[in-house]
Amino acid sequence: MADNLQPLHVPIKRRSFFMYAGATAGATALVLAGCSKDSDTTPSSTISLGTGDASVLNYAYALEQLEAAFYAQVAKAPAADFSATELLYFQEVAKHEAIHRDFLKAAINRDAPGKLLQDLTPNFTTVDFTKRKSVLDAAQAFEDLGVSAYNGAGKLIKNAAYLVIAGQIVSVEARHASIIRDFVSPGTFSDTADANGLDLSRTPVEVLTIAQQYITEKLDGSTVGQ
């Protein structure tokens, strides 16, 4: 069941997987904290990202799943009004994000066996993939959010090797954010800076509060890094 992520095309399959994943002994990474009641038809439980460095990696993995799924859709069915450069860059960014996702999956499976976060089911219903502006706005939101997430999560990491890896990823995310901002509005590449020239930083809870609207499953990041 845990095959490659194809969330945009198999939502029902995902949900059915998730419904009994919680009852599966093998789902050691999942902590089902009871069903929430805010979903009308789909039983939805909260998935804790856990603690320790594995939780930080899974937190990153969750965000990279989201980004990778988004750009995979953009690359697969690009908006007709993209410029040639925009299309080219989006195709490359899609590969970067897919690599980030797959790398984190491999690293978690290697270093924290049994703790890999499940495949998530993205919800991009608010994005109109046929419209350049809608895609760019969403991409900007994802990239700025991703940068702030890595910046805020850095201090939660205990293993220096993971910190370096996170640093190697976040600067690429910042490069994405920069160019996408320039596509949205030229010259705004760094307008996330505060009065001290510092980029955004958010805690896992703050990030997931924003990201949750794009993820079907409920994620709990309150213990990440603890």
Partner 1 sequence: MDFFKIIDQLAEVDADLLGRFDSRRAIFNSLGSLAKRSAMAASPLLVGALFNKAYAGETGIKSTAVDVLNYALTLELLEQDFYSQVITAGLATSVGGAAAAAAIAKIKLHEDQHVALLGGTSGAIKSLGGTPVSGIRFNASAIPSNLNFATNYDTQLLVAQVLEDTGVRAYKGRASELLGTDLLTTALRIHSMEARHAAHIRYMRATRPGASTDIRPWITAADSAAQTPANALYTSAYTNGITPSTTTPPTPPPTFFNFGGGSFTIPTYDATKPSPREDNTTQSNVALITALGTPYTAAEAAAAFDEYLQPAEVLDGSRAGGLVR
Interaction residues for partner 1, span 119-158 (CB under 8 A): 147, 150-152, 154-158
HSE of 83, CA atoms in CB hemisphere, 13 A: 7
Q: Report the amino acid identity of residue 201.
A: S
Backbone Cα Rg of the chain: 17
- Helices then strands, counting H and E runs in the chain, come out as 6, 3
- Is 206 near partner 1 (CB under 8 A)? no
What angle in degrees, to the nearest 10, is found between the helix axes of 84-111 and 52-76?
A: 150
Output DSSP code: residue 154: G
Among the listed ranges 20-28, 29-37, 160-168, 205-213, the one in contact with partner 1 (CB under 8 A) is 160-168
Closest to 47 in 3D by CA, of 63, 35, 65, 61? 35
**In contact, 149 and 59? CB cutoff 8 Å:** yes
Query: What is the C-alpha to C-alpha distance for residues 32 and 24, in angstroms, rounded to an integer?
Result: 11
- Is 107 near partner 1 (CB under 8 A)? yes
Q: How far is the CB of 215 from partner 1 (least distance, A)?
A: 22
Residue 178 or residue 216: which is nearer to partner 1 going by CB? Answer: 178
- Is 95 near partner 1 (CB under 8 A)? yes
Among the listed ranges 25-33, 74-82, 118-126, 197-205, the one in contact with partner 1 (CB under 8 A) is 197-205
- Is 89 near partner 1 (CB under 8 A)? yes
Closest to 217 in 3D by CA, of 39, 74, 68, 5? 39
- Is 4 near partner 1 (CB under 8 A)? yes
Q: How far is the CB of 134 from partner 1 (least distance, A)?
A: 21
The residues binding partner 1 (CB under 8 A) are: 4, 89, 92, 95-96, 98-100, 102-103, 105-107, 110, 147, 150-152, 154-158, 160-161, 163-165, 167-179, 182, 186-187, 189-190, 192-193, 195-201
